[in-house]
Structure 1
């Protein structure tokens, strides 16, 4: 197992191409086609669900190299690495008499980050451009009321960039309630390595995963078990990986954003591995294993706990899958706003993923689909830690006497 070189030019170009494709949850077909073409170029087989979630497979190759799928028999459960293609966005909920449009958010995000956004509105026959503005958008008209109006989605409206005087003019453009609104990403890649954009969540994670797959495929590195790269479509609206993890998977790693803020451990350098999020603690053994990989291969890492955070990994467990889970995150400032991360962070994530793809099951017993007896079950505390306890455990009988 070795840390592989990551093609940073490929990673950066892939990220910019992803950011150029509008993909609010529910409007994701085009980004599915893009991702499929990237997998085709890498020579990886994949399958799609009805709605377009992609499950690609990096085959194990330890004995005689890649094998024909029809003749392939697996030796045990697989692993999966999951990243989501969908982003935040909005939908038209009302056409006002003025010709302005009221919006409802797609995903959970504050209206203050939508204010001033340049957008594309997708009708069923075409697309139009516009801006998202507060109801009181001109200081020359409203003076200080511009600064005192509340912050919520009811205080915003979409101004379409066409000659419009009333609702009929808007309808004549083909605009209807339920049309999708995608916010421009406006990416910048700076010479110092910082990347600033909307929708780094989670297109930066997707780019890092594709870069890791490229490194493993082109290096010919040994892969001991099948590894599935899964690209989901509905993480921002809460479902994500609930329906795509199959029984042949024993552990799931989610790739996603790590919010950088005061009091958080996530950083815009190194890999951030949260030990818990809103779904509860992630798997003890898998998270510590990833942290050890970072330490052993000189990949900077950070530990964190996310309080208001949901992910594809958590969605898999909530759906009832008996899998180990972990999250690998790129630290980013201003999550769900104009996000900022650093190219080195995405490279570090890709490096860690290449190590994981080469590493096999987290524990030897995970090679089997089901445990036999408790004799095979793991201990979260090392044996040597148990022997260090100076005070012996009391006799249970003593606890009931006196």
Structure 2
């Protein structure tokens, strides 16, 4: 678990909004190469680590996505501040007050700023607290001496530059992990740690398995390509969403039975339940009503596979998220038990 946590902290420190993931993919590639694997990059940008199993005729695919929520510069306002366009699904109030970084394409420079509503000062605006947070009144206050669009453009900033949010990662003595983008860097850290463990302990897995790190999940099409024709089972390791009417918590692994795409494969999810019971893994079954995964994207793309979804329980998903080390532990244990099990 210590190594999983180390991977998680390093992944969280690398900005990776969807479409701007080369740096984090480079990090993952270097880590798996150090382990002794030979990763493959697809045209779309997926990174795949294929591990040969005892059975090379029937394959498994397991995924985690490393792309995160973020934004792009939509326009430069007359006063030099920036208007944003969202990447991924989140309401504007979830990022109000957050520090951010503008990644300038033209000169590779980075500038810091803060995301605020235009009517920020309560001493000036009567509706500072009640104004609806929309694209039209949310803006980036740059930490540069700019007071006009021309001065901002002189920095090299332009429409289309990516904007990443400060993850504000904190690990408490009580075992909580607080950070943006635990969705889905917790899962990526788990897969990295399992790859390391399998290699160092010379563990032979029963079926050839493709570990896919996807880079377009937050916009819906994720790891829906480059699936080998031999793949018969597809497991997405993502997150469990918490809230009213949800069973998911921060201390167990959440097994999804249905999301916005419909039910997951019945026998597959039952297999995960039985593995949990047999290995004393604490789990919860749940439905995520407004949710999709790499596995559901693969099904929509026409993949002929049994698909399932599990993940650590994440509080306040798509906002300032939190989970507990217990949930990460149980999630990793279930993924490992599955990879060592027989086919559904």
Q: Measure, in 2, the Cα distance between the counterparts of 1:129 and 1:325.
A: 41
> Under a length normalisation based on structure 2, what TM-score does the superposition of the two structures give?
0.97
Q: Measure, in 2, the Cα distance between the counterparts of 1:101 and 1:226.
A: 48
* Equivalences, count: 342
The structure 1 segments of at least 4 consecutive aligned residues displaced by more than 3 Å after TM superposition are none
Retained in 2: the 8 A contact 1:212–1:351?
A: no
Q: 1:199 aligns with which of 154, 161, 181?
A: 181
User: Which deviates more, 152-161 or 299-308?
Assistant: 152-161
When the two chains are superposed, the root-mean-square deviation of aligned CA atoms in Å is 1.1
Determine the structure 2 residue equivalent to 1:370: none
Retained in 2: the 8 A contact 1:90–1:106?
A: yes
Determine the structure 2 residue equivalent to 1:99: 80
> Under a length normalisation based on structure 1, what TM-score does the superposition of the two structures give?
0.83
Structure 1 residues without counterparts, runs of 5 or longer? 1-7, 63-73, 363-402
1:36 aligned onto 2:43: no
Determine the structure 1 residue equivalent to 2:91: 110
Determine the structure 1 residue equivalent to 2:303: 321
1:136 aligned onto 2:119: yes
Q: 1:79 aligns with which of 60, 73, 82?
A: 60
Retained in 2: the 8 A contact 1:208–1:347?
A: no
Structure 2 residues without counterparts, runs of 5 or longer? none
Determine the structure 1 residue equivalent to 2:136: 154
Retained in 2: the 8 A contact 1:221–1:358?
A: no
Retained in 1: the 8 A contact 2:239–2:312?
A: yes
Retained in 1: the 8 A contact 2:240–2:253?
A: no
For residues 134-182 of structure 1, the C-alpha deviation after alignment (integer angstroms, 9 at most, x for no partner) is: 011111211x411110122222001111000100000000010111000
Offset, 1:352: 1.2
Q: Measure, in 2, the Cα distance between the counterparts of 1:44 and 1:75.
A: 17
Larger strand share, 1 or 2: 2
Offset, 1:75: 4.1
From the CA coordinates, give the structure whose radius of gyration is larger. 1
1:54 aligned onto 2:53: no
For residues 206-236 of structure 1, the C-alpha deviation after alignment (integer angstroms, 9 at most, x for no partner) is: 1111122222222223311101110000000
Retained in 1: the 8 A contact 2:64–2:236?
A: yes
Determine the structure 2 residue equivalent to 1:288: 270
1:15 aligned onto 2:8: yes
Determine the structure 1 residue equivalent to 2:231: 249
Q: Measure, in 2, the Cα distance between the counterparts of 1:129 and 1:270.
A: 37
- Give the secondary-structure state (helix, strand or coil) at the position aligned to 2:303: coil
Q: Measure, in 2, the Cα distance between the counterparts of 1:357 and 1:258.
A: 20
Larger helix share, 1 or 2: 1
For residues 84-119 of structure 1, the C-alpha deviation after alignment (integer angstroms, 9 at most, x for no partner) is: 010000001111111111101001111001101101
Offset, 1:245: 1.6
- Give the secondary-structure state (helix, strand or coil) at the position aligned to 2:20: coil
